[in-house]
Amino acid sequence: MREKVCGIALGILLAVLVVVSLGMGTYDLAASDIPSILFAAVTGTPVDAEQKATTVLLVIRIPRILIAALAGAALAVSGAAYQGIFKNPMVSPDILGVSSGAGAGAALALILGLPSVMVHGVSFAFGVAAVLTVMTLARAFGKSGNALVVMILAGTVISSLFTAVTSLLKYVADPDDTLPLITYWLMGSFARSGNDTNMGLMTICLMVGAGVLVALRWRINVMSFGDEEARSMGVNVRASRAAIILASTLLTSVTVCMCGSVGWVGLIIPHAIRLVTGPNYKSLIPLSMLGGACFTLLVDDVARLIVPGELPVSVLTALIGAPLFIYLLAKGRKEWL
């Protein structure tokens, strides 16, 4: 019952945030113009509103709203999956180095002056390479009893390595041109991500990655009690863990390469949903997607309104996420499983 109520509430909140976000921004749109512009866009009929208002709504705001919601859903569901297979609610999607790897790839591509599509491609490749390296190290040096510990330690090492590479690239970058690009990209933003190509790629990756996690959510439930219990119930732990990690990595890396580094979403949203509905991944996976979409839309709206320009998204997610996470920790002192 709690799951249904939470799902309905999050669905209503998401719809409200989408409607509110349509009117958010430095260019004031008349509330009466929005329905007519949307109706004209769907039916192909002429619109009475100004051309500038139509361009702002259809070319800038709607794509930005969609990319923000998709990114939030991807980060939150990957965070929920990571927390389940590592049996720890403190785990975030970047624990295996995907965020730092994708950041290093983007920094390298920006220094080389590659076009935007190549920046995204190199960033994605580096993020996937980081996770594959971690999994290879865990398989080579980890034993059945400590494989998760070795994987986490390897992720910490690889993450530190790619962070150092990013710092080195920033040090040698042109301070007047390339360095600001790298710095602002790493801060995260949805402002430049909302185009047809990015939305299509994000939608496909979310469908594939989240589809795998939804299909395996019952295995995450079993694996959260330990590998031995999962094996006794006929679960192929190694194959299931690999599939879950790869799906979560796909979601995280594509978000980082499209929108930059957006922290805290994959950590606090699954934790908050778990405190409300419990640790059943049958509902936690879809509810985390809804919660993540709501959170990123809310943060993006605040980022556009709090200063004359806009704040980087990662700054606000940290300012909102850190106190919220402390509150969640204080509220959920009991063991989460």
d(C-alpha 274, C-alpha 270), whole Å: 6
Q: Name the residue with tokens 């509905």.
A: 277
CA–CA distance, 240 with 337 (Å, rounded to integer): 20
Considering the entire predicted model, what is its pTM?
A: 0.86
Higher pLDDT, 333 or 325: 325
Report how far residue 252's alpha carbon sits from residue 134's, in angstroms, rounded to the nearest whole number. Answer: 15
268-307 residues labelled b (16+ CB within 10 A) or e (exposed): bbbbbbbeebebbbebbbbbbbbbbbbbbbbbbbbbbeee
Find all residues with CB under 8 Å of 9, minimum gap 6, and list them. Answer: none
Residue type, 75: L
Residue 56 has pLDDT above 50, yes or no: yes
Q: Give ∠ CA 36-42-47 in degrees, rounded to 5.
A: 35
Please provide the distance, in angstroms rounded to a whole number, between the alpha carbons at the two ends of the chain: 19
pLDDT digits over 216-244, tens only? 988 888 887 777 777 888 788 888 888 89
Instruction: Answer whether 131's CB lies under 8 Å from 96's CB.
Output: yes
Query: Where is average pLDDT lowest: 84-88, 106-110, 123-127, 295-299?
Result: 84-88
Give the pLDDT of residue 308.
67
Output the CA torsion sign for 294, 297, 301, 306. Answer: positive
C-alpha 281: how far from chain center: 18
**CB-CB contact of 195 with 62 (8 Å):** no
Alpha carbons 92 and 72: distance in angstroms, whole number: 13
3-state secondary structure of 278: coil
Q: Is the pLDDT of residue 88 over 50?
A: yes
Those residues whose C-beta lies under 8 Å from the C-beta of residue 152, and which sit 6 or more positions away, are: 86, 95
Q: What is the pLDDT of residues 156-193, one digit of tens each?
A: 889 899 999 999 999 988 888 888 888 887 888 787 76
- In this predicted structure, the answer to whether residue 337 has a pLDDT above a threshold of 50 is no
Residue 194 — very low, low, confident or very high, per pLDDT cuts 50/70/90?
low
User: What pLDDT sits at residue 336?
Assistant: 46
Which candidate, 87, 231, 210, places its Cα nearest to that of 152? 87
pLDDT on residue 46: 67
